[in-house]
C-alpha cells in the first residue's frame, strides 16, 4: 500500500460504535502518512442491515473491526470477509476471553450494554452538571463538594480538561488565576477535593491567547499577550502553587487526555497515600 492510497476501514457495531471508533483512532495514529477513510456502521442488528454492510465492504475493500454479539451476524460477516479477502477482527473478543478465563466465569453479551443507564451513568451526568456550574470560577461557595479543583492562568486547558474528567464521573471545578486579582479564599481551605494546578510555557501560551483574541476580533496589543507580562503572570501563579503545596502539571505539550491522566494519577496517589 503506497502513501497515496486510501485505507478503507470498516467499523461495524451493534451499538453506537464508539468503542470501535476509539480503538481505530488509537491504532491509526501509530502509522505516519496513512490516509484512512472510516466507514462507520452502527446499530447493526438485522440481517438486512448486515447485507448493506457487506455490500459496502465489497465496494471499498478494507479491514473490518467489529463488535457484534449475535452469533449469526458474526458468522455471516466473517464469511463475507473471507470471500472478499479482507481482515476481519472482533476487537473485544481477546479481552472478554482473557477476563472470563481469569475469573472462571462466562460472559453474557448484549448489544450496547456499556451504555445502559446504570448508577455510573447517572453519576457522570451529575458530575457534568456540577462541572458546568463551576466552570471558570462561576461558583466557589461549595467547592468542597468537588472531587477535583483545577487552578491555572487563562488558556491553560482548564475547561476542556474539566469536561473530560466530568465525563469520567469526577465532579471537577476550575478557577482562573488572574493577575492582580486575589484568588477566592475558599481554595486555600479545601480538604476533600484534590487541588491541582496547571502551568505552561509562556511563548506557547501567547500563541494560544493570540488565536483567542483573533477569534473574538479584539485588539492584540494588551498585557494578555505581551511576553514580559505573560512570563510574570505564569511565574507568579507557579510560586503560589508551590507555596501551597498543590501538584503542578505542565500542559504545554500534553493533549487533554494526557493532562487528565496526569490529574488522575495525582488523585490516585493521594487516595492511596503515595503522594
Dist. CA 195–CA 190, nearest whole Å: 8
Look-up of cell digits 478557577: 175
Which parts of the chain are beta strand (E)?
6-13, 35-41, 64-67, 88-90, 148-152, 172-176, 194-199, 248-250
Residue 112's pLDDT is what?
A: 53
Residue 36's pLDDT is what?
A: 92
**What residues pair up with 197 in beta bridges, in sequence order?**
151, 248
Q: Helix 158-167 and helix 256-272: axis angle, to 10°?
A: 60
User: What CA dihedral angle connects 98, 102, 107 and 111, to 10 degrees?
Assistant: -40
Dist. CA 147–CA 153, nearest whole Å: 20
Measured CA distances, 187 to 130, 148, 245, 261 (Å): 17, 11, 12, 22
Grid coordinates in use for 83?
A: 470471500
Say how far residue 51 (Cα) sits from the centre of its chain. 34
Residue 117's pLDDT is what?
A: 53
From 156, 162, 193, select the one nearest 176 (Cα to Cα).
156
* Model confidence pLDDT, tens digit, residues 111-167: 655 555 566 778 888 999 999 999 999 999 999 999 999 999 999 999 999 999 999
* Dihedral over Cα of 19, 23, 29, 31: its sign: negative
Residue 10's pLDDT is what?
A: 97
Say how far residue 132 (Cα) sits from the centre of its chain. 16
Indicate the pairing of strand 64-67 with strand 35-41. Answer: unpaired
Residue 170's pLDDT is what?
A: 95
Longest dimension (CA), the chain: 69
Q: Which positions of the chain have pLDDT values less than 70?
A: 1-4, 109-119, 219-221, 274-275
Amino acid at each position: 500500500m503506497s502513501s497515496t492510497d486510501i485505507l478503507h476501514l470498516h467499523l461495524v457495531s451493534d451499538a453506537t460504535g464508539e468503542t470501535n471508533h476509539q480503538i481505530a483512532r488509537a491504532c491509526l495514529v501509530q502509522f505516519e502518512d496513512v490516509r484512512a477513510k472510516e466507514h462507520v456502521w452502527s446499530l447493526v442488528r438485522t440481517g438486512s442491515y448486515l447485507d448493506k454492510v457487506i455490500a459496502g465492504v465489497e465496494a471499498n475493500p478494507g479491514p473490518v473491526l467489529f463488535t457484534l454479539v449475535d452469533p449469526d451476524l458474526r458468522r455471516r460477516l466473517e464469511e463475507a470477509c473471507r470471500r472478499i479477502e479482507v481482515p476481519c477482527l472482533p476487537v473485544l473478543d481477546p479481552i472478554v476471553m482473557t477476563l472470563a478465563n481469569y475469573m472462571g466465569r462466562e460472559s453474557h453479551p448484549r448489544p450496547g450494554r456499556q451504555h445502559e443507564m446504570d448508577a455510573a451513568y447517572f453519576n457522570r451526568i451529575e458530575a457534568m452538571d456540577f462541572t458546568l456550574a463551576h466552570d471558570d470560577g462561576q461558583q466557589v461557595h461549595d467547592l468542597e463538594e468537588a472531587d477535583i479543583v483545577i487552578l491555572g492562568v487563562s488558556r491553560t486547558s482548564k475547561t476542556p480538561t474539566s469536561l473530560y474528567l466530568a465525563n469520567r464521573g469526577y465532579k471537577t471545578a476550575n478557577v482562573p488565576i488572574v493577575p492582580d486579582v486575589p484568588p477566592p479564599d475558599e481554595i486555600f481551605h479545601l480538604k476533600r477535593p484534590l487541588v491541582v494546578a496547571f502551568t505552561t510555557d509562556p511563548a506557547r501560551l501567547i500563541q494560544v491567547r493570540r488565536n483567542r483574541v483573533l477569534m473574538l476580533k479584539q485588539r492584540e496589543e494588551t498585557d494578555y499577550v505581551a511576553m514580559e507580562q505573560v512570563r510574570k503572570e505564569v511565574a507568579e501563579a507557579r510560586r503560589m502553587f508551590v507555596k501551597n503545596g498543590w501538584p503542578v502539571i505542565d500542559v504545554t505539550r500534553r493533549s487533554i487526555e494526557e493532562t487528565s491522566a496526569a490529574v488522575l494519577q495525582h488523585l490516585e496517589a493521594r487516595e492511596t497515600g503515595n503522594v
